[in-house]
Amino acid sequence: MGTSMRRRAATTAMTLTMTGTLAVGLMTPVASAAGKGPCYDGRCRTTVSAPKTIKVNSRKFGFKQFKITHISSRSVDMSTTTTNGTQLGGGTSPGGTVELNNLKIKVKSVSGRKAKLQLSPTSR
């Protein structure tokens, strides 16, 4: 193998290594957010069937997760326990909203045993 061929091979290897390193660096925030869940910041749209636990930021909302306990054509029920041990819960029909501390959970629709939810922080 000639000198120019070795240089080209070394340059190619370096380029591939740097590309891989940059790609991993770019993927790290997504990977860590995925571990917490797509609704962690309190802003998401999701479709769920009961029972389903949804993780959220405990510092922001006062609880680390809430659970969808029941879904029917007439209501969606949910509950949680706050970081200080208080039990919270609520239920609403499709189109309604439940507020758990400063997190709004709107039931957009229900189809069969699945509910489409939209989460958003309140402006408190």
pTM: 0.71
Q: What is the mean pLDDT of residues 28-57?
A: 81
Residue 50 token pair: 């009961």
Confidence bin at 113 (pLDDT 50/70/90): very high
Domain ranges of the chain: 1-36, 44-121
Quick check: 26 pLDDT over 50? Answer: no
b/e 84-108 (16+ beta carbons within 10 angstroms → b): eeeebebbbebeeebebbebebbbe
Please state the rounded mean pLDDT for residues 50-73. 96
Residue 35 has pLDDT above 60, yes or no: yes
* pLDDT confidence bin for 123, thresholds 50/70/90: confident
Between residues 28 and 112, the one the model is more confident about? 112
